[in-house]
Structure 1
Amino acid sequence: SGARLEIVTPERMLGVDVGGMNHVPYARAFNETDTRVTLNQRVRAVRPEGGRLCVEIGSDHSDHRSVRHVDWVVADHGTAATADLYFELKPASTNLGAVDYGALLEGRPQRVTRNPRGEFRLFRIGDAVSSRNIHAAVFDALRLLKDV
């Protein structure tokens, strides 16, 4: 599209939450598109200036600041845990949200039944637990439900 991309992160390395198997495709895409990666920095301020955006970038470790003039800023600050739906559904579940950790560790199906009148099994994973990356949620689901 002709756009240039810069990823700014306060982390000491990019993709801390990206699994190792995904690293190569991401690295290839960034290299092929000349994506600029700025580590140990965060966006400190954004203000309009002359029809563009003036972005101040700085570190948590020093007073150093730099400026970029760009057309767009996309910010991602993660997510907050949202367990409301989990707690709303919990009373109607057969397991009342309980996990059989012995079965989980041994790779056996989850068979906990604490509410025989329940309509479904319910497990608290991903953002219902805490603000986590998608990979953690997918792996939680795979471990819990692989034998369903």
Structure 2
Amino acid sequence: AGAAPRRRVLVVGAGPGGLQTAIAAAARGHEVTVVERETVAGGQVRWAASVPNRAELGDVVRNQLTECADLGVVIEYGVTADADCVSARRPDVVVVATGSRPVRPWWAPPADTPAGSRVVDVLEVLRGDAEPTGDVLVVDQLGFHQATSVAELLADRGCRVEIVTPSMVVGQDLGVTLDQETWWIRAAAKGIVSSTDRIVNAVNPDGEVHLMHHPTGATETRRPDWVVTVLPYAPADELYHELRRRADEEGIEVHRVGDAVAPRRIHAAVVDGDRIGAGL
């Protein structure tokens, strides 16, 4: 088969999904530009790589950036791309890789109240937007590195940390990466408490947390200074849907990859990006 016609491809977002899209598209001979609102690439991965025992995650983005440079991909930082900005660039193809955003739990008090201001998302802690101290309750519904890593980070800062999860074991998916046994050792050494089979039912205005042991229905309370949530995120897909509404009129082909489709793990974003980029 002959080579694909050279097209102008704009990728919005320089996380692993966006960068892999750029790599695959550039390898096909397309002219590729990536725009990123932050001053560095990596998306949420760069924050995940900042915690104890997870620095190797940074290699994913570093390797992708090297390959982008080799293929002539242009990356523009500090660009917030709305639909008008995208239209003004007149690309042939747009791939939206805008990631995902935290969802505030239903049981949390409003964020502008004293108790609500101390219920924060794990990403806020990693970015330094929130700095918990004292007794910290980590509420984990993902069962992977997010909760265990932030627990270690806070314990290293002198916090007294308890992880609460509805699962039968904290960090249930750490076995996938062969990290579960070493996590148990480190958690014990750092005094991190694990409380399984528990869900949060409410946080009172005074900060008291109500838990339920779901196998038995027994209730418990905690009085932490801070609550850190590790919960499923929602796609940041507004740009994608706006561009789709304009696509026919403006003659732009629009795709999305990674967490902008559905929040998942890094490998899924990379697979998404490679599939879309290689198919252009």
TM-score by length of 2: 0.34
Q: CA deviation at 1:73?
A: 1.4
In structure 1, the partner of 2:229 is: 75
Residue 59, structure 1, aligned to residue 190, structure 2: no
1:33 alignment partner, one of 176, 190, 206: 190
Matches within 5 A, 1:117-128: 122-126=255-259, 128=260
Q: Following superposition of structure 1 onto structure 2, how do residues 1-148 of structure 1 map, counting pairs within 5 Å?
A: 1-16=157-172, 20-21=176-177, 23-24=179-180, 27=183, 28-47=185-204, 49=206, 53-89=207-243, 91=247, 96-97=253-254, 122-126=255-259, 128-130=260-262, 132-141=263-272, 143-144=274-275
Change (3 A) 1:124 1:5: same
C-alpha distance 21-5 of structure 1, shift in aligned 2 (>3 A): same
Q: Distance in 1 between matches of 2:251 and 2:194?
A: 45
User: Structure 1 pair 93/140, CA: closer, same or farther in 2 (3 Å)?
Assistant: farther
What SS class does the counterpart of residue 67 from structure 1 fall into?
A: strand
The RMSD of aligned alpha carbons is: 3.5
How far does residue 24 in structure 1 lie from its aligned partner after superposition? 4.6
TM superposition shift of 1:135 = 3.0
**1:68 to partner: Cα distance:** 1.9
Q: Secondary structure at the match of 2:171?
A: coil
Pair 1:85–1:75, CA change in 2 (3 A):
same
Counterpart-to-counterpart distance in 2, 1:89 and 1:75: 32
Structure 2's unaligned 5+ residue stretches are: 1-156
Aligned-pair distance for 1:8?
0.9
What SS does the aligned partner of 1:78 have? coil
Deviation at 1:35, TM superposition (A): 1.3
Report if the CA contact (8 A) 2:212-2:220 is conserved.
yes
Q: For the Cα contact (< 8 Å) 2:257–2:272, is it kept in 1? A: no
**Alignment partners' CA distance in 2, 1:89 and 1:19:** 40
> Residue type matched to 1:85 in 2?
L
Tell me if structure 1 keeps the 8 A contact 2:258–2:270: no
Structure with the bigger percentage of strand? 2
Corresponding residue of 1:102:
none
Q: In the alignment, is the contact (CA less than 8 A) between 1:9 and 1:41 conserved in 2?
A: yes
- Distance of 2:243 and 2:165 partners within structure 1: 36
Amino acid aligned to 2:275: L
C-alpha distance in 1 between matches for 2:174 and 2:236? 22
Residues 19 and 137 of structure 1, relative CA distance in 2, 3 Å threshold? farther
TM-score (norm 1): 0.57
SS of alignment partner, residue 275 of structure 2: helix
Instruction: Report the alpha carbon displacement of residue 84 of structure 1 after superposing the two structures with TM.
Output: 2.2
Structure 2 contact 201–210 (Cα < 8 Å) conserved: yes
What is the match of residue 106 of structure 1?
A: none
CA contact (8 A) 1:86 1:124 kept: no
8 A Cα contact 2:164 2:195, kept in partner: yes
Once residues 235 and 164 of structure 2 are traced to their aligned partners in structure 1, the CA distance between those partners, rounded to angstroms, is 24
